[in-house]
Every structure is written in structure tokens, then in C-alpha cells.
Amino acid sequence: MRRWLLARVVYLEEHTMLELLGVRQSYPWGTKDVIANLLHQEADGHPWAEQWYGAHPLGDSPTLTGETLSEHLSQHPDDLGQAVLETFGKRLPFLVKILSAASPLSLQAHPSREQAREGHARESLLGVPLTASERSFKDDWPKPETIIALTNFEALVGFRDPHETARLFDELGVGEELASVIGPLRDREGMPALQEVVLDVLSLGERRHLVDEVLSAAVRHLDAPGELGLFARTAVELDEHFPSDPSILAALLLNRFSLEPGQALALPAGVIHSYLRGTGIEVMANSDNVLRCGLTSKHIDVDALLHVVSFAPTDDKVLTASGSDGTYVYPTSFEEFELWLLQPTDDSTLQVPRGDTGRICLAVSGSFEMRGDGDVMRIGPGQAVFIAAGEAVAASGSGQLFVAASGV
């Protein structure tokens, strides 16, 4: 039986340290056994795409007191910390997930704070139900995010330079056939070129045969060295899951990243992306605003995309944590969250950082003893604990313990 069944709520004077039970999300793109194995549970044959830890309305973590984390925080708002209360009110500003993808997620982007407020107010004024498939803004929050690889992890993130993409289509041997679609990549610069091509791709309709021409050429270049081979393999991999889908051409406009365990990508608002496969820790603002751009059967709001997506070519960098002596921090710059990694050596004891704010600690390997004011809680892989602001907690053991806190 899992250790969390034996866990308890530890009351530390006026505050609490709460063990959180994760909330399963069974999206069809998820793996069937990876998260189950991490949690030491038996796989049930159904996708287990994500495990959520936080206070999101669609996945509010239960605690062992019988209340959810959001219910607890509504009664104990000081547990969030003064800076969080002043900036975000009585709301935990971040959400922590284990994400495990067996197949590509949709092409998507997320709004900035101003865009989210405007979009949510507009759709609410129009009376679009929150549960409607055509609703783009479910709340008025932004949704920057960071993904940290636990396994080898493949992702498409941000637009490649348009001239470079045009060169790759030419090397694939389809430049002339695609001239009516990709011409702006050669003739125009930066944002206008990419915006025009994306809009054209989303309306290909009767020209879907162009996608098949690209795929036929890609099959002939699967073993090509360097960027061309990766470009060809990306097209064929996407076609396996979305046969002849025109948005494959939009996906081919993006940079491809291959992360090794421990490496990360930070995605600000407006950056179009798709996670292709792999398992990682995802930390994001506590929002459900997703604008889909393709590789999906769900609603695509073209007008909202034009407003939210940044069509500027990006030079995204692979991030690594910096620090020493077992305490490391990932270089993100978001108000809603920051992320630390505790990795003790020789069963050393490390102080959980950011005692000024509420934190979620999630173990992904090993075993940890969480100690504060004489009380002790033990957690292992897939187990998480919320630590209130003002609590000094030390972690000892071995393995990897991620710590999410607010960015303010």
C-alpha cells in the first residue's frame, strides 16, 4: 500500500504542513504506465497523462483532513505569504504537474495577463459558457510554464527563422510545390511572414494534397544528417498521429528541442509549442487558458490566436539549474512561480528554500524526511507536501525533490 495512506497532517504551531494527493488527468495522449510506475501503482491500461498537485478548480488536490488545498487556503490565507496575498489575492498562483506524453499534444499557446483579462471579460459578456468547446478564455489568468525533463523529452517550441524554414523545405525538395503557401517565408521578414503562412495553413482545405507531398518527400530524407533529417522525421512522426493534417506544416515552422533529464524550457505567454513525447515536471501559472493552433480536433479560435500568439522568431535556450551543495534553482522569470531542485548528497540535510511563501515540494525519486519544529513527515516518489509561508522545514534523504514557490 502506498506510503501516502500512512501520511498525516502535521500542525506546526499556527501553520500547517499538508501532504497533497495528486489528481489524475487521463488525456488520450498520455502514457499508460509511466506515472503509475513512479507512484508505485499498477497501471490500469488507460492513459495517465498528468498528475496535478495544487489548487486548480479542475484538479484541486485533496489533503488527508478531508478538505482540498484551495479549501484550506481559503481558511488560512496567510499560508500563502504576504507577497502572494498582495499580488494575487487568496489564490495559489502556480500548479505543479507530472506530465507523461506518449504522443504529441496539440499546437498551443497561452495568453498574457492583459490578454487573459480582456478575453475572459469579452467571452463572459457575450455569454459563452465556461464549459463550451468554443470558449478560449476559461479564467482571467496568464499561463506561462516551464517543463523540466525527467526522461529524454521531445518538444516543438517557438518559431524558427522563416528563411531557415524555407531553406529546409527547399532541401526536402518541395519548395516549388509549396510556393503558394511558404512563399512569404522567402519574401518577407519575421512576424509578417510567419503569421501569413500559419493563417494560410489553417485554411488549406482543398489543398490538403500539399501535406501529402511534403510527407512523401520527408520519407525519402529520414536518414539525412543534421537539421534536414530532423525536419523530415518530425513531419513523419506527426503524420503517424495526425494523418495528412494541414497543421503539420505549421508545426514544421517551429524549433525542435531534445531535452535530457534535468534540462528545461521556459515558455512565456504567446509562445506556440507542442510537447511530442517524454516525461517531465511542469510548473505553470494556475490557469486553464489554452488556445489551440492545430494537431487537434478541438476548437481553433483564429481571431484569438492572432491576438495572443507571438509570431516573432524565437531563440529559446535549453535551461539548466544552477547552484551548489545540493540546492539548485532554474532560471525562470515569472511572477507566478519559480522552481528549485533539492538533491542531497550522502543523506545530507537541506533547508527548503523560500520560507517567505507557500511552497509545494514534490519528490520524484528517492525518499525524503521533511522535518519542522520537531515534527516529521516522510515522502517518496510522486508524493507532495504543501508547506506554509513562515515555516522552516529541512529535507534530508536522497533522490530528487522539486520545490515550487511563487515568483514574488
How does the average pLDDT of the chain come out, rounded?
93
pLDDT at site 181 = 95
pLDDT in tens, 177-210: 999 999 999 998 889 999 999 999 988 877 889 9
Residue reference for cell 496535478: 52
Give me the long-range contacts of 130-135 (CB less than 8 A, separation at least 24): 133/298, 133/299, 134/299, 134/301
**Do β-strands 94-101 and 375-379 pair in parallel, antiparallel, or remain unpaired?**
unpaired
Q: What's this model's pTM, rounded to 2 decimal places?
A: 0.94
Torsion angle in degrees (nearest 10) through CA of 367, 319, 154, 166? 180
Q: What is the mean pLDDT of residues 226-238?
A: 98
**What is the residue-wise DSSP string for 118-133?**
HHHHHHHHTT--TT-T
Residues known to be catalytic: 292
pLDDT at site 16 = 64
Phi, psi (degrees; rounded to nearest 5) at 125? -65, -35
How confident is residue 213, by pLDDT bands cut at 50, 70 and 90?
very high
**Do β-strands 322-324 and 327-329 pair in parallel, antiparallel, or remain unpaired?**
antiparallel
Q: Please say whether the beta carbons of 27 and 76 come within 8 A.
A: no
Residue reference for cell 520560507: 355
Quote the CA–CA distance of 34 and 99 in Å, as a whole number: 10
How confident is residue 131, by pLDDT bands cut at 50, 70 and 90?
confident
pLDDT at site 398 = 94
273 to each of 13, 181, 204, 255, 362, how far by Cα in Å?
Answer: 45, 21, 21, 9, 25
The DSSP element (H or E) to which 107 belongs, if any, is strand 107-109
Q: Please say whether the beta carbons of 163 and 186 come within 8 A.
A: yes
pLDDT in tens, 77-102: 999 999 999 999 999 999 999 999 99
The separation between CA 287 and the C-alpha centre of its own chain, rounded to angstroms, equals 11
What nine digits make up the cell of 317? 535556450
Quote the CA–CA distance of 196 and 17 in Å, as a whole number: 52
Quote the CA–CA distance of 117 and 142 in Å, as a whole number: 8
Quote the CA–CA distance of 231 and 224 in Å, as a whole number: 9
Residue reference for cell 532560471: 331
367 to each of 17, 370, 395, 399, how far by Cα in Å?
Answer: 17, 10, 10, 6
pLDDT at site 254 = 98
**What is the residue-wise DSSP string for 271-307?**
--EEEEEEEEEEEEES----EEEESSSS---HHHHHH
**What is the residue-wise DSSP string for 129-160?**
-TT-TT---SSS----EEEEESS-EEEEEEEP
Q: Is the dihedral of CA 274, 199, 298, 95 positive or negative?
A: positive
Q: Please say whether the beta carbons of 191 and 312 come within 8 A.
A: yes
How confident is residue 133, by pLDDT bands cut at 50, 70 and 90?
confident
Single-letter code of the amino acid located at 288: D
pLDDT in tens, 321-347: 999 999 999 999 999 999 999 999 887
pLDDT at site 345 = 85
- DSSP single-letter state for residue 21: P
Quote the CA–CA distance of 43 and 32 in Å, as a whole number: 6
Q: What is the mean pLDDT of residues 287-314?
A: 93
